[in-house]
């Protein structure tokens, strides 16, 4: 479990990016920080692996204050995937993935083997191992980024808008792939996005944030959709429009559900809760 306790971050120029933020992030689940640009999502994420040091407060991992751990060691033990994959342009795919195991002391041969295993895990053919990042599509580069994030077999994986720069079709593919991976690996994932649909799709716990990392609501997607904390959250999650504004339409073959654009989304099979 990751805990933020009364965390604030004031940057040297005086910007208060995070103002007294507390949260518990359960292990083996996906927690998503969602909010508009500049609300402090990246700052929060980077305080988990000490890329950013808080001005006040404590971050704990499994009960232990992370300040007690050397920053470099902590950073290497936590996976980090960022928006533009962050791949080293003069390293091949395999070399990019193998960097972390190499830094952690694995032999060249073992690290290469690990890189090939991870390529398979994230759905990349082994034939791409010797390519350079510029010889891959944006979606493939992001897969390499995810493989690299997993290379140290971390318990925690931090993902900062990892699918923000790819087109919607590839994005949907990567999201499905992450859901599949997470079922298999059960990591503690902390994911940052400004896309509420992505947050609801991927998050077990969704944290809706406003400026200064102010928590507007924390809950499962169902809790938030069923009980938005206030009108602002209701409007932010699009409760009254688009894919979440479902209406019942009666047809001669029974009731169907129609979204805000009038498109049929499914058939109403039963009035009771179903799991």
Ligand X SMILES: Nc1ncnc2c1ncn2[C@@H]1O[C@H](COP(=O)(O)OP(=O)(O)OP(=O)(O)O)[C@@H](O)[C@H]1O
Q: Which residues are near ligand X by CB under 6 A? A: 11, 13, 15, 17, 35, 37-43, 194
Q: How many CA atoms lie within 13 A of 257 on its CB side?
A: 13
Strand partners, 10: 16
Nearest distance from C-beta of residue 19 to ligand X, angstroms: 11
**Beta strands per DSSP E along the chain:** 2-10, 16-25, 30-35, 56-61, 64-65, 79-82, 156-160, 188-193, 205-210, 214-219, 247-251, 254-258, 264-267
User: φ and ψ at 4, to 5 degrees?
Assistant: -100, 125
Nearest distance from C-beta of residue 110 to ligand X, angstroms: 36
The β-bridge relationship of strands 264-267 and 30-35 is unpaired
Nearer to ligand X, 29 or 55 (CB): 55
Nearer to ligand X, 161 or 177 (CB): 161
The β-bridge relationship of strands 2-10 and 56-61 is antiparallel
Nearest distance from C-beta of residue 159 to ligand X, angstroms: 12
Nearer to ligand X, 84 or 99 (CB): 84
Nearest distance from C-beta of residue 33 to ligand X, angstroms: 8
Nearer to ligand X, 2 or 122 (CB): 2
What's the residue count for the chain? Answer: 275
User: φ and ψ at 197, to 5 degrees?
Assistant: -65, -40
Nearer to ligand X, 12 or 271 (CB): 12
Nearest distance from C-beta of residue 57 to ligand X, angstroms: 15
Nearest distance from C-beta of residue 34 to ligand X, angstroms: 9
Alpha-carbon span 30 to 203, nearest angstrom: 5
Nearer to ligand X, 39 or 118 (CB): 39
């Amino acid at each position: 479990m990751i805990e933020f306790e009364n965390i604030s971050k004031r940057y040297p120029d005086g910007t208060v990016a995070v103002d007294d933020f507390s949260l518990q992030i359960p292990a083996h689940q996906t927690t998503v920080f969602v909010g508009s640009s500049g609300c402090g999502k990246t700052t929060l994420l980077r305080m988990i692996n000490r890329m950013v040091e808080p001005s006040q407060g404590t971050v704990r991992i499994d009960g232990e204050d992370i300040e007690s751990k050397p920053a470099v060691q902590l950073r290497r033990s936590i996976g980090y995937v960022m928006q533009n994959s962050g791949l080293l342009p003069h390293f091949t795919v395999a070399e990019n993935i193998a960097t972390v195991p190499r830094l952690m002391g694995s032999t060249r041969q073992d690290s290469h083997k690990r890189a090939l295993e991870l390529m398979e895990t994230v759905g990349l053919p082994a034939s791409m191992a010797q390519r350079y990042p510029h010889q891959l599509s944006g979606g493939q580069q992001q897969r390499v980024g995810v493989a690299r994030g997993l290379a140290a077999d971390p318990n925690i994986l931090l993902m900062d808008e990892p699918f923000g720069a790819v087109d919607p079709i590839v994005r949907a593919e990567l999201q499905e792939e992450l859901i599949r991976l997470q079922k298999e690996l059960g990591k503690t994932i902390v994911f940052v996005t400004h896309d509420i649909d992505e947050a609801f799709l991927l998050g077990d716990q969704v944290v809706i944030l406003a400026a200064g990392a102010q928590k507007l609501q924390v809950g499962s997607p169902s809790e938030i959709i069923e009980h938005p904390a206030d009108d602002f959250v209701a409007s932010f999650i699009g409760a009254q429009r688009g894919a979440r504004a479902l209406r019942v339409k009666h047809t001669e073959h029974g009731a169907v559900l129609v979204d805000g654009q009038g498109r049929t989304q499914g058939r109403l099979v039963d009035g009771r809760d179903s799991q």
